[in-house]
């Protein structure tokens, strides 16, 4: 009966939604950069909000962390490369590859992964599982489905679509993800990224192209 919104008269000062957004954003940034140990005071300061306001919205630090994780999963899902279903494999894979390497080097996503890992295990165990299922696993499944379709259509020869999808993303990742997670920031030039994407697509097709 979630009648929360039905408290008709609606008296008093209405909550400012920008506060909540600012808190989640600040918490995300600080958790990623400094780890879960960052203080609530620091988060409040970064969000330009009083500590009490945080506790009005989130009962505990863990709840706040959960909210941050949820918002991250959304980010990842939005950014999943969706293969054009009827595009020929060369074109479809190439688009996925170029999008993905840019996605992974965009600065935002590595922070998401760092965030997930920064939580101590007691806090993060369930959340990380949810995150993986909602984000990376879904992206993987989508591409595996695409590969299955292309096999059925006779455009590619794919014996094990799941394995192929996993390895395809793996080679696109290369060292990017691990280096980012370790906090070693480096600049990957556009040319380098394109070269890598093209190389991976070529290798994948050389194995799977229907002759």
Q: Residue 188's binding partner, choosing from a second copy, DNA, none, with beta-carbon cut-off 5 to 8 A by kind?
A: none
Query: Is residue 61 within the footprint of DNA (CB under 7 A)?
Result: yes
User: What is the three-class DSSP state of 156?
Assistant: strand
Q: Residue 57's binding partner, choosing from DNA, a second copy, none, with beta-carbon cut-off 5 to 8 A by kind?
A: DNA
Segment contacting a second copy by CB under 8 A, of 39-47, 68-76, 77-85, 115-123? 115-123
Query: Is residue 35 within the footprint of DNA (CB under 7 A)?
Result: no
User: What is the three-class DSSP state of 209?
Assistant: strand
Backbone phi and psi for residue 156, each to the nearest 5 degrees, phi listed first: -135, 160
Query: Is residue 59 within the footprint of DNA (CB under 7 A)?
Result: yes
Question: From the list 39, 130, 160, 175, which residue makes contact with DNA (rule: CB under 7 A)?
Answer: 39
CA 56, distance to chain mean position in Å, is 28
Q: At what angle do helices 108-118 and 17-34 cross, to 10 degrees?
A: 80
> How is residue 71 written in tokens?
């918002």
Q: Containing H/E element for 133?
A: helix 121-134
CB 119 within 8 A of CB 32: no
CB 112 within 8 A of CB 75: yes
Query: Is residue 174 within the footprint of a second copy (CB under 8 A)?
Result: yes
C-beta of 45 vs 57, nearer to a second copy: 45
Q: Which long-range contacts (CB under 8 A, 24 or more apart) does 157-161 make?
A: 157/208, 157/209, 157/210, 158/208
Query: Is residue 189 within the footprint of a second copy (CB under 8 A)?
Result: no
From the CB of 185, what's the least distance to DNA, in Å? Answer: 24
Q: Which residues bind a second copy (CB under 8 A)?
A: 33-37, 113-114, 116-118, 120-121, 124-125, 128-129, 131-132, 136, 140, 160, 163-164, 166-175, 177-179, 181-184, 195-196, 199-200, 202-204, 206-207
Q: Which residues bind DNA (CB under 7 A)?
A: 8-16, 19, 37-41, 48-53, 55-57, 59-62
């Amino acid at each position: 009966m979630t009648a929360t919104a039905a408290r008709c008269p609606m008296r008093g000062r209405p909550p400012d939604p920008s506060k909540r957004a600012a808190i989640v954003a600040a918490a995300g940034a600080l958790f990623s950069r400094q780890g879960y140990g960052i203080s609530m005071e620091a988060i409040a300061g970064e969000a330009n909000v009083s500590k009490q306001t945080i506790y009005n919205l989130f009962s505990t630090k863990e709840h706040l962390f959960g909210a941050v994780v949820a918002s991250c999963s959304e980010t990842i899902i939005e950014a999943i490369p969706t293969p054009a279903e009827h595009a020929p494999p060369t074109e479809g894979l190439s688009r996925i590859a170029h999008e993905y390497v840019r996605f992974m080097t965009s600065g935002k996503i590595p922070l998401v992964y760092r965030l997930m890992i920064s939580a101590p295990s007691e806090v993060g165990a369930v959340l990380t599982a949810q995150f993986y299922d909602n984000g990376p696993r879904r992206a993987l499944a989508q591409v595996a489905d695409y590969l299955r379709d292309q096999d059925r259509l006779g455009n590619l020869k794919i014996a094990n679509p799941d394995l192929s999808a996993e390895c395809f993303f793996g080679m696109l990742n290369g060292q990017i993800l691990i280096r980012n997670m370790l906090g070693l920031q480096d600049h990957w030039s556009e040319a380098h990224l394109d070269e890598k994407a093209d190389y991976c697509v070529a290798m994948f097709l050389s194995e799977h192209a229907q002759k």
